[in-house]
Amino acid sequence: MHRPSVLTCATALVAVLAAGCSSPTPDPKVPRASPSSYDGEAESPEPSPASSDTGSLGAATKDLRDMDWARTAVPGGFCDVPGLISFTSGEATVRSDTHGTVHAEQYPDNVVYGDVLGDDGVEAALRVGCDTGGETASGRLAWAFVVFAGEQGELRLVGTVTPQKYEGGQASGFAGVELDSGRVIAEETWHRPMDGTCCPSGKAVTVWRVGADGLLVAGEPRVTG
């Protein structure tokens, strides 16, 4: 029987080792999925900053006073929630980058209207909030009014009005907001260190003005009480 020579075996071995050490063509990289806003139901990709902060937020009626605000999604930045928050019966369970799982809510009956942009149109401020899921004042994390404009049949974010932070440590709130030409006047309530969680005694006013980019910018708060 013919046996392969030593030279033949060595040659074959070198060929096998060379094939095993060659660099395979790398697989194409798969884009990492963007985090999404968790609303307790199906998750959706996180909108880009342009779409969630300043772009279209859905269809708008010709007069915003005719909107069905209960069906309106809002940017979740007021509670450090990425993307938009969609509500069911005014409530949602969402994931906050700062607070973890939180309970969010909106108040369609507390919408305030006025001509903020000075274009003879009507803008709207929808009250929203988030908390730890409990039913006590100590669980409150944030309050805000989200201000919308209607442009060419689409909703656009004008700004999210949040109360300024004060010395008491509890989440500040609102006594109300007023939409005026070129500005939003926020009447705030805040806790002094000795106040109970139920009863803030501090009062302040912050004026938010419309900047050159059409978005609201907060001024310095003025303590009034």
- Written in H, E and C, the secondary structure of the chain is CCCCCHHHHHHHHHHHHHHHHCCCCCCCCCCCCCCECCCCCCCCECCCHHHHHHCEEEECCCCHHHCCHHHCCEEHHHHCCCCEECCECCEEEEEECCCEEEEEEEEEEEEEEECCCCCCCCEEEEEEEEECCCCCHHHEEEEEEEEEEEECCEEEEEEEECCCCCCCCCCCEEEEEEEECCEEEEEEEECCCCCCCCCCCEEEEEEEEECCCCCEEECCCEECC
CA–CA separation, 87 and 73 (whole Å): 7
In a domain, 215, yes or no: yes
Domain assignment present for residue 195? The answer is yes
Spatial contact of 82 and 97, defined as CB atoms under 8 Å apart: yes
Residue 14 makes CB contacts below 8 A (sequence gap 6+) with none
Closest CA to 55 of 184, 197, 220, 213: 213
Query: Which residues make Cβ contacts (< 8 Å) with residue 4, sequence separation at least 6?
Result: none
Q: Tell me which residue of 135, 37, 50, 109 sits closest to 79, measured CA to CA.
A: 37
* Residue 221, CA distances (Å) to 123, 163, 211, 225 in order: 23, 9, 17, 12
- Residue 12 domain-assigned (yes or no): no
The answer to whether the CB of 142 falls within 8 A of the CB of 190 is no
196 burial via Cβ count (<10 Å: 0-12, 13-18, 19+): exposed
Strands 222-223 and 154-161: unpaired
Alpha-carbon gap, residue 205 to 219, rounded angstroms:
10
Per-residue pLDDT of the chain (225 residues; tens, 9 = 90+): 444 443 343 344 334 333 343 333 322 322 222 222 223 333 333 332 323 344 569 999 999 999 999 999 999 999 999 999 999 999 999 999 999 999 999 999 989 999 999 988 999 999 999 999 977 777 899 999 999 999 999 999 999 999 987 766 688 999 999 999 999 999 999 988 888 888 889 999 999 999 999 999 999 999 998
- Residue 87 belongs to domain spanning: 36-223
Does the residue 77 lie in any domain?
yes
Give residue 124's pLDDT. Answer: 98
82: which 2 tokens? Answer: 């990425």
Residue 13 lies inside a defined structural domain of this protein: no
Overall number of domains in the chain: 1
pTM equals 0.74
The reply to whether 2 falls in a domain is no
